[in-house]
Amino acid sequence: MSNESSKPMYEKIFEALRDEILERKYEPGDRVPSEKELGDMYNVSRITSKKALELMASEGYIVRQPGRGSFVADQPAGTAKPASGGGAQQQLARRADGRLLIGLVITDFADSYGNGLIYGMEEASRQHNSYLVLRRTFGMPAYEEEAIKGLLELGVDGLIIFPAQGEYFNAEILKLVINQFPFVLVDRHLKGISAGSIATDNAGAAKEGANHLFELGHKSIAFLTPPPVDTTAIEERIEGFIQAHAEKGVVVDRDIWLELTSTLPKANTEENREQDIRRVMAHLERHPHITALFATEYNIAQLAVQAVQRLGRDVPEDISIVCFDCPEVNGKFPFTHLRQNQTEMGRLAFENVLNLREGQSVPSKILLDASLIISESTGPAKSV
């Protein structure tokens, strides 16, 4: 009895919580009481309850996740361990050597856009002795929610999220904000959400691309885009395109704008792409005064050039084309394009998550300049 009474309170709390886990009052994955809740239960300070939880974690009974709480380990100490030794045990070992695991939720990636982002993040993870784990969502909100939940269950120390296109952000992102879990957004920001974001200055880039066409004498420029659907990146490119017209004193002709849907995740089929090519062909025939096309995406520019060629016209002699992002093909770029600084965007995203974990503040919105890369898809306007 004397030994028991002389034990520090944090040890008593540790033993009580440990016994409850061993007695299965708390199952693997269950959240255990927080520092504040333990403090209230035992009438001790948060310093004492924090020390008890830290001891629980060091002994392998729980896994602590900043911003979320403490959870019973998959295989708590004192219970049978899997033959392969994994799950929470591997996670605890990773914490012990100081390495962090950062999750990336991204719609998809390709040579035209995405590969550079991941390269920048992976390089940053290597420099900081950490690891990056990736899950694609293909732009599907349901997949995005599943990816966020899954990565949190895996025990990631932070998240980088490239949000799916959609009018509303999903509930899992809102939970991250409420729980103050360290995460940043890339490529776009979400309205009404207090979260740091890193993106391209899309408005400035679109303005630069439009000005390049104006300098070549183009006045009738068709704007080709997927439906904005409250997607900030597309909305900002529209804004920049309109600003360029206003500054040059050119009237914006929305009648020659065209929305295409085959590049959206749910509509990305060969049949839909063929349908969009035909829509561009019909659009050009209805509006013969169009001399240039501004595509908000590389994949749309590819559809556009096929439409022009099927009409027996040439790029850029008859129609000039500008787009965002473009991979190098056979040593050259097929399109004049606005190249986003993906590597830097990825690096900053990773480092900002690490800063948030350390309790540092990060800018709410970082915008990076894009570079205009002039290629053979643009030339002087042809008289019509």
The full set of domain ranges for the chain reads 2-96, 101-200+342-368, 202-340
pLDDT number for residue 84: 33
pLDDT number for residue 314: 97
DSSP 8-state class, residue 288: T
pLDDT number for residue 94: 46
Return the closest-CA partner of residue 200 out of 332, 290, 334, 297: 297
Which structure tokens are listed for 59? 């002994």
CA distance 164 to 142: 9
Helix (H, G, I), strand (E, B) or coil at 46: helix
CA distance 176 to 43: 30
Encode pLDDT of 191-222 as tens digits: 667 788 999 999 999 999 999 999 999 999 99
CA 314 → CA 101, 291, 324, distances in Å?
50, 11, 21
Q: Identify the segments of the chain with pLDDT beneath 50.
A: 1-3, 80-95
CATH topology of domain 202-340: Rossmann fold (3.40.50)
CA distance 170 to 80: 37
pLDDT number for residue 97: 59
pLDDT number for residue 166: 53
The CATH code for residues 2-96 is: 1.10.10.10
CA distance 349 to 262: 29
The CATH code for residues 101-200+342-368 is: 3.40.50.2300
- Is the pTM for the entire model greater than 0.75? no
Domains 2-96 and 202-340 share a fold: no
